[in-house]
Amino acid sequence: MNRLWVLWRRELASFVVSSMVFILAAMFLAVMGVGFWFIASVRLINGATLYDFLRALYGGVGWLGMLMVVPVLTMRSFAEETKSGTLELLLTAPVRESEVVLAKFLGALSVYVAIWVPTLGYFVLLNRALPEGITLDQGAVASTYLGLFLTGAFALSVGIFCSAVTKHTLVACISTFALLLLWFLSGFLPAISPVPALRSAAEPFSPVLHILEFSRGVVDTRPVVLYVASTLLVLTITIRLLESRRWRA
């Protein structure tokens, strides 16, 4: 546990000293801010509910932000160290591959959460703008952010895996973006597939439907278990990949 903590702090330090993270956070908040302003001015003025607002903001603009943030956060995690040769040195140290992978995952997840935290201010503004006596449904807001956390954790695990299979950061970034885009688009299969059996089979795995359910304030244990299990599975595959690399060395 102490080694994991040291490696985790090492990852956080690498993010803090990088100007790329601050530029990325500024771009993300700019995109989310414009999306918030547009959706609030159009939907809420026209009498839309909080659910409509959450669905439009996080079911639409939120996905754009995730597709923008995750590939950049994870592309350097293993690819850059593999290219520079520092990964081999790290793997020869008295640390486990699982600790290395978890530290990189937790470091990226910590930054991902930190980038999303300022968006909570949107709901402070909304609460002040509402008529007296009307308050926001805090449960719906909390469940929405739970969904963003779970989907983001899975997306980050995919990005770390893509970074582990190549030594080129650009390849890792593009492959992560492509896989996450396919994952996002697959979420529309329950709505557009002409085959009823395919619609039924795809519905429990649709990330789009999951976010919409979370934005309603509905926390179903099935998507929660799905994302936790999927994240652990991808991280386990990455650990096995590193172990095989050490064995070949």
Q: Per-domain residue ranges for the chain?
A: 2-248
- Residue 188 and residue 212 in contact, taking contact as beta carbons nearer than 8 Å: no
Q: What percent of the chain has pLDDT over 70?
A: 86
Q: Among 29-33, 140-144, 166-170, 237-241, whose mean pLDDT is lowest?
A: 140-144
Q: Which residues contact 194 (CB under 8 A, 6 or more apart)?
A: none
pLDDT value, residue 156: 97
Residue-wise pLDDT for 180-236, tens only, equals 999 998 888 888 878 888 888 888 888 988 888 888 888 889 999 999 999 999 999
* Mean pLDDT to the nearest integer, 87-103: 81
d(CA 97, CA 143): 33
Residue-wise pLDDT for 10-31, tens only, equals 888 888 888 888 999 999 999 8
pLDDT value, residue 46: 56
Following DSSP, what letter does each residue of 122-189 receive, concatenated?
A: HHHHHHHHSPTT----HHHHHHHHHHHHHHHHHHHHHHHHHHHT-S-HHHHHHHHHHHHHHHHHHTTH
pLDDT value, residue 132: 61
Q: What is the model's pTM?
A: 0.91
